[in-house]
Structure 1
Amino acid sequence: MEEELDIWRTNRKNLQGFLHAFDAGQLNRVPDGFSNNLIWNLGHILVVQQLLVYGLSGQVLHIPQELIPKYQRGSRPEGDVGQEEIALIGKLLADTVPLLEEDIRENRFGTFRPFTNSAGFRITDLPQAVAFNNFHEGLHLGYMMSIRKLV
């Protein structure tokens, strides 16, 4: 699973670059033809990773509960996200990487509730959750690369 974590670490650094490259107005802008924006994608990536890896393992999430309805699957941006929440998302994108690595090292994950997502991917254990999360984050990085050209 170390290779998957290496990919994840690198992808998270790429994602955090958006927070440094764009101001709050750009992060919040929903371009024509899109249903979300850069900051929503970052929040969504964070929430889905926590729900996939920690939620399906019956563990406590490392994010505030109020972020879940705002960024979970099926949600959309509902107004501008303020600088405080942008900073929180950036901090959590960084902080959740060493937390997961430590939790894996300390063998804190036990039972895993199998899950089949809407695309038909069946996730039955932690390594599959980490692998699928990388796929999911990469997909949203691609969306963000398209959005960045329009903001």
Structure 2
Amino acid sequence: MRENKLFVQFRELRSQTISFAESVHPDIVDIVPEGFKNSIRWNLGHILVAWDHGIFPKINESRRIPMQYHRMFPKGSRPDDWEEKPPSFQEIMDRMRLQVDEIIKASEGKMDDLISKPFLRVKYLRGMFKFHITEEQHHLDCMVRIKEAIGVVGVPAQN
């Protein structure tokens, strides 16, 4: 798969993720419905952390997302465990928008490069993109299910 095709996939998926998040009323972003471990805010933060951790250190660059995110949104974490106030929903959304260009700019021309440390069985940056595109889609699907489980009865539509 050509580099540009992966970048287009990433941009399109992130656009879908952002559109979904913008459709969610702010009153429900922190609700963890029965049968779920995390909220919509947690999933968005986790997407940011996963891409940040999964790309920049693998190409020997510094992470772009503040350490607060890496403490609050890693795999296996839960909002119930938070000991500090999470970033605002608006801040998370702003970072969701900015991250795409940061990652693409840092990754251009490097898709066939070996990553600094293999991840699972992934050895090349191209594989990291494929992995994280799949992961973001999984978390988008999860957020859709969370929103459906919460329902929007009694929550006014966002203008």
Structure 1 residue corresponding to 2:42, chosen from 28, 40, 43: 40
Q: Is the 8 A contact 1:57 1:113 kept in 2?
A: no
Structure 1 residue corresponding to 2:26, chosen from 24, 27, 30: 24
Moved more, 13-22 or 30-39: 13-22
Gaps of 5+ in 2: 151-159
List per-residue Cα deviations over 1:64-90 (Å, max 9, x = no partner). Answer: 1111010011111136966x5211111
What is the aligned partner in structure 1 of residue 92 from structure 2?
89
Q: Which amino acid aligns with 2:5?
A: E
Q: Displacement of 1:6 after TM fit?
A: 1.0
Q: Is the 8 A contact 1:27 1:38 kept in 2?
A: yes
Fraction of identical pairs, as percent: 24
What is the aligned partner in structure 1 of residue 139 from structure 2?
140
What is the aligned partner in structure 2 of residue 102 from structure 1?
105
> TM-score scaled by structure 1?
0.85
Gaps of 5+ in 1: 117-121
> TM-score scaled by structure 2?
0.81
Secondary structure of the corresponding residue to residue 114 of structure 1 = strand
What is the aligned partner in structure 2 of residue 131 from structure 1?
130
Secondary structure of the corresponding residue to residue 150 of structure 1 = helix
What is the rounded CA distance, in whole Å, between the counterparts of 1:81 and 1:150 in structure 2? Answer: 25
What is the aligned partner in structure 1 of residue 9 from structure 2?
7
List per-residue Cα deviations over 1:54-111 (Å, max 9, x = no partner). Answer: 12222111111111010011111136966x521111111110111122222376x885
Aligned pair count reads: 144
List per-residue Cα deviations over 1:9-58 (Å, max 9, x = no partner). Answer: 11111111233222332011001110001110000011001111112222
The residue correspondences of 1:72-87 to structure 2 (distance < 5 A) are 72-78=74-80, 85-87=88-90
Q: Is the 8 A contact 2:114 2:124 kept in 1?
A: no
Secondary structure of the corresponding residue to residue 70 of structure 2 = helix
